[in-house]
Amino acid sequence: MVCIYFLLVLNNINLPQYFYLNWYKDVPLKVSVFAYRLLRNRLPTKDNIVRLGLITHEVNLCVSECGMVETTTHLFLNRVSFGSFWYMVHIWLSFSSVDLNVLHDHFIQCAYLIGDSKVLHFFMHLIRFTCVWILWNERNDRIFYNKKKSMTQLLNKVKLLSFWWLKSKVASLSLGFQSWW
């Protein structure tokens, strides 16, 4: 991957902006790999599995029981599935944004709406990566274990996991867990 990156840079090939967001070193590697696959539509969502011929069209419906086909965009951004989750995250952060229907734009939006502060960029990317990771795990829990959490429970998981990841990267952080809430 690094060699490809240098070849592209040396040849002045323009990469999409979301390329640089994927390998985010402040989250666990498995989460960065997950985001890399998410933004390239390489996750094993039901529509991708149908495309590979592993399941039939009859069983490719979303886990939220909305009757729609499960695609990455539908799963992560559609209000019927987990779209209301993003609204709750924005309320928690006191952050307003435009509802987007393209995953790449969804990730990039937070970087441009908050200005040039590196600390805010770090924080917003940490939250975004945590959110998509939690949503993917919730999707898998619904499929494989028939367990369903409320949006409030998912938000609390995001708060807890993002705090742990932040604390592991910034050991001198004086912010306590209760302040994070």
Within 10 Å of residue 58's Cβ, how many Cβ atoms?
Answer: 7
- Residue 62: pLDDT band by 50, 70, 90 thresholds? confident
Across residues 126-140, what is the average pLDDT? 92
The answer to whether 118 and 110 have CB atoms below 8 angstroms apart is: no
Answer yes or no: is pLDDT of 22 > 80.
Answer: no
**Rounded to an integer, what distance in angstroms lies between the CA atom of residue 72 and that of residue 101?**
10
**Which amino acid is it at 57?**
H
- Of residues 102 and 58, more confidence is placed in 58
Across residues 60-89, what is the average pLDDT? 82
Mean pLDDT of the chain: 76
**Rounded to an integer, what distance in angstroms lies between the CA atom of residue 170 and that of residue 181?**
18
- Of residues 125 and 69, more confidence is placed in 69
Give pLDDT tens digits for 139-178. Answer: 999 999 999 999 999 999 999 999 888 888 777 766 666 6
| pLDDT score of 10 | 44
- Of residues 177 and 117, more confidence is placed in 117
